[in-house]
Structure 1
């Protein structure tokens, strides 16, 4: 097989969709009989090309040969997103037990050196099989939750500022040497409760541990590395012994010692010793490398760096996009415990797998235009850099917090920073990646704090414990504020840089951050989806407003900037349905129906638009709708005796019609009652407000939740929501309105009966029973199984 083959153009060997039959008798075969292609035979993760750009190095595999055997490594290599996620999801078939095994066996002299130090690295959270793994994870999880991590943020910020102070006036710095190694290491030691030992020594120990476990040290290096690893092991033991004398006070290792007293069979001495050493490496090296990678990526793209400097609100999603595009953990390892098929390729029991998450994070089957850095990417946090499922990195939110703080401090104080001309080098290994040096330069006379001392006191709250999907906000400029009626204004919003607005479809809405009020409100888009220049929304002044509509009506002026999120769409118009379409809008509920009716007109669909209001004066869109839709528009003004007769409308239409409706609850309830016997998909509605009030513990019951992908079981108390319980267990779930209105907290349900309390899902979607809104919906019975 030549290196230029394409799987789709070759006849594959029997039972294998990717590998062609051997070209001759001398062709090598994998352990399952699959031929080994030339590119698979040449694969070398220690090659500098892999270190420089792992996703590009295996692009050929992602495209043509997503599962292949590497004879040089002795591993099956997996490169596509869905295959890797499936491996992470099943930690029984794909055991993590080899994650800390030396990928390059060392010789007898190095092994003797390690033995002389008593080196006995054993199981940790990273390489523990079930059932021991989850038992230990549950006991040790509490300090890693977002709520618990908040107490560390002031210390992280203080350290970051102090280190920037050291070089802010120099005009140049190696950010790795002068900040990005020591600060994460200090934070890691603080989090663990470990006294701050010699930083440079610990850095060398950490590098040695990485080379010993995931690298390919030359024979002459192996003994030196073994001495460093042995010293590291003994240092970890001494620190642990000292902690045991007084395990009170803060720190995760002291917490572990206290938990050992309660669960001696779960948390053993050997386990604590191994964890001490492993976590010192994991808690700082991944963060140091990830931050260096992120800064390099952004500074290589000045427009992206400028966007972050101009808008700190982009930083949380910028962190996720950098972790996706250029993460610090490019690959991890598993071993098959039985014969299994991965991506169509048979892998025998005992087969070792190198799963290249860096490649999965660039898989176009999951990420649009994956090689582009997109700070507004909605699914950036789908990346697999932290793993997935039961063994997902427990320290993921500590890393996120540090990266957000580092990016904010550097972008705020050195927005004019740029990369110096340099060659980037990496420590050769399969699994931890970051530049050894990152030289930057700037003009100290342009430091903004010289003219704005208050800049040093500003900060943006760190966002942890939620995914980025639909959460990233971005700025728009208010192009115009147009009164539609005495109580309705229409806003036209445009990007500040003249770029096109995000694409959207009829029925979509955006979330508007209402200035400094702390409020976020959802408003339907009412303009033309085909207009790439602007977004339009209309807002009714609500006397019962909690502040959102009042702020917009009284404070907004043309030229002001707003922050918005979205567009999102839970009220989607089915353009492929050729049945008669009936649109019914009550009051301001006409807004999401305006682009739907426009689209139906463009497509030539049979439709009618009913617009209901108290009076014609309150129906400010009547004239423009009449101009566009002519005789297809029906106006119903209550003060003229023209109230919509819902029973008559439904009787005339019949159950073959498709109805889209938005408006007051009374109108929607009447429609739902009238359509009760119609097909499930006949009526689609969007509500102004949630039907359910606040949680009443006296009227609720607790229930158990099994998180199938994570291997965790939780109990949701009667006085807590599912969303709160998931967040407390360090499970990333996005949310926004927390009222069942916006749909952002949707989770997939595998088993169990759901008590739906949202106003997002259709009747058919509810009856399917495969999704729920975590912020408000609950279990009807005692148990749910979720795909989390």
Structure 2
């Protein structure tokens, strides 16, 4: 049986610069012409419609998150793979995202203790102080880059503190997070970018190993103490699992929230009447957050490994291959959302988006990300009620897998 393949011109478009600034025309064509199809350029299956992306995110029988990162290195030369053995080793480890039941159930049970509604509520005063400090200082300048001065530092400070690192080390965590994710963001794994990721991953793990040893001797009220002690008590987490989980908490929690805040503020300042509407009625902020998540998913695509050959949407998916689930496309599926390319504060089903995933891998930090975004918007309303897009406007990050402004200039007076 021949496999459905993405048309050659559309497949080329998936690796073009257009995907960085405006991937949505390509997404529309995929939904229409090749909703479940093979990409020669990505060397993976691509799923683009809401009706298929949602179920595939939930499928734990036929699709796997374990060792899925290994597929990203298959196109490299043998010597390049050897040079990257440290990176490949750690991305082969199981963590709270990169695992299946029963290991996933065990690890998620430990990590989710740090993201309960009660814990998030206890973090709210700290989030508010950070937002006041960062937004207040930035707004006083008259014009500032919202990403650089607010959206990027705020979540990484919180994550670093949650892990037990001092605020003074937040610049290290910012650099490590950006570098580690860099090799995944271009659509194809590039050797030079992956080497940068490996160096930062090694630095992060050396740092966290020292922190883990310190907490084993003198536990504190932080997540790393909980995880380090859990490692001792029955070896519920191996050392590699523990380090991989720390990496996941940092990179996933930082990247998603930074992009969410950048996308949200961008839309509130550019969509007609949106900023005035949330200023007049703060109760609209939660809806604005959901609509921003829908319109511009902070993580545009998820990927999984096909662990057994099976039929899906009339297509045979062979064991061992990769499948990309285009969350950014599903969230703008005209079959699910009316006028999907418009930012609509009144959209009733905005919360049906898939930006935080679905099923057993639904994002543990979703509540924290929403709390940070809402707090920052309120701080911006207080310090810059007349905020508008600056003359320099915005630029997009140059990464296909993630979507958010690389820079977003805001004028406050």
Q: Do Structure 1 and Structure 2 share a fold, with TM-score over 0.5?
A: yes
**C-alpha deviations, 1:559-596, integer Å up to 9, x for none?**
xxxxxxxxxxxxxxxxxxxxxxxxxxxxxxxxxxxxxx
Does the Cα contact within 8 Å between 2:151 and 2:261 map onto a contact in 1? yes
> Equivalent residue for 1:308?
278
Measure, in 2, the Cα distance between the counterparts of 1:323 and 1:346.
31
> Equivalent residue for 2:50?
81
Matched, 1:346 2:319: no
- SS of equivalent to 2:298: coil
TM-score normalised over the length of structure 1 = 0.49
**C-alpha deviations, 1:190-221, integer Å up to 9, x for none?**
22222235333322221111113443465454
> Equivalent residue for 1:68?
37
**C-alpha deviations, 1:527-554, integer Å up to 9, x for none?**
xxxxxxxxxxxxxxxxxxxxxxxxxxxx
Does the Cα contact within 8 Å between 1:99 and 1:126 map onto a contact in 2? no
Shift in CA distance, 158/85, structure 1 to aligned 2, threshold 3 Å = same
> Equivalent residue for 2:64?
95
Measure, in 2, the Cα distance between the counterparts of 1:424 and 1:62.
28
Matched, 1:369 2:339: yes
- Bigger helix fraction: 2
Matched, 1:123 2:94: yes
Post-superposition offset of 1:336: 1.7
For 1:525-540, what aligned pairs fall within 5 Å after superposition?
none
Does the Cα contact within 8 Å between 2:57 and 2:357 map onto a contact in 1? yes
Matched, 1:333 2:307: no
Matched, 1:54 2:26: no
> Equivalent residue for 2:129?
158
- Bigger strand fraction: 1
Shift in CA distance, 116/312, structure 1 to aligned 2, threshold 3 Å = closer
For 1:687-698, what aligned pairs fall within 5 Å after superposition?
none
Does the Cα contact within 8 Å between 1:40 and 1:68 map onto a contact in 2? no
Post-superposition offset of 1:238: 2.4
Does the Cα contact within 8 Å between 2:135 and 2:150 map onto a contact in 1? yes
> How big is the alpha-carbon RMSD for the aligned residues of Structure 1 and Structure 2?
2.4
Structure 1 stretches lacking a partner, 5+ long: 1-13, 15-31, 444-788
* 1:209 aligns with one of 175, 180, 188: 180
- SS of equivalent to 2:391: coil
Matched, 1:439 2:409: yes
For 1:469-488, what aligned pairs fall within 5 Å after superposition?
none
Measure, in 2, the Cα distance between the counterparts of 1:88 and 1:112.
32
Q: Tell me: higher relative CO, structure 1 or 2? Use CA pairs within 8 A at least 6 residues apart.
A: 2
TM-score normalised over the length of structure 2 = 0.91
Post-superposition offset of 1:47: 2.8
Measure, in 2, the Cα distance between the counterparts of 1:404 and 1:358.
22
Shift in CA distance, 356/70, structure 1 to aligned 2, threshold 3 Å = same
Shift in CA distance, 224/393, structure 1 to aligned 2, threshold 3 Å = closer
Post-superposition offset of 1:134: 1.2
Does the Cα contact within 8 Å between 1:260 and 1:267 map onto a contact in 2? yes
- SS of equivalent to 1:436: strand
Post-superposition offset of 1:141: 2.0
- SS of equivalent to 2:324: strand
* 1:286 aligns with one of 256, 279, 283: 256
Matched, 1:241 2:208: no
**C-alpha deviations, 1:453-504, integer Å up to 9, x for none?**
xxxxxxxxxxxxxxxxxxxxxxxxxxxxxxxxxxxxxxxxxxxxxxxxxxxx
Does the Cα contact within 8 Å between 2:95 and 2:107 map onto a contact in 1? no
Measure, in 2, the Cα distance between the counterparts of 1:320 and 1:47.
29
Does the Cα contact within 8 Å between 1:309 and 1:412 map onto a contact in 2? no
Measure, in 1, the Cα distance between the counterparts of 2:290 and 2:23.
18
For 1:124-143, what aligned pairs fall within 5 Å after superposition?
124-143=95-114
Post-superposition offset of 1:146: 1.1
Shift in CA distance, 407/438, structure 1 to aligned 2, threshold 3 Å = same
Post-superposition offset of 1:152: 0.1
Structure 2 stretches lacking a partner, 5+ long: none
Measure, in 2, the Cα distance between the counterparts of 1:102 and 1:157.
41
Post-superposition offset of 1:354: 0.6
The count of aligned residue pairs is 410
Larger Rg: 1
Measure, in 1, the Cα distance between the counterparts of 2:112 and 2:86.
34
For 1:494-509, what aligned pairs fall within 5 Å after superposition?
none
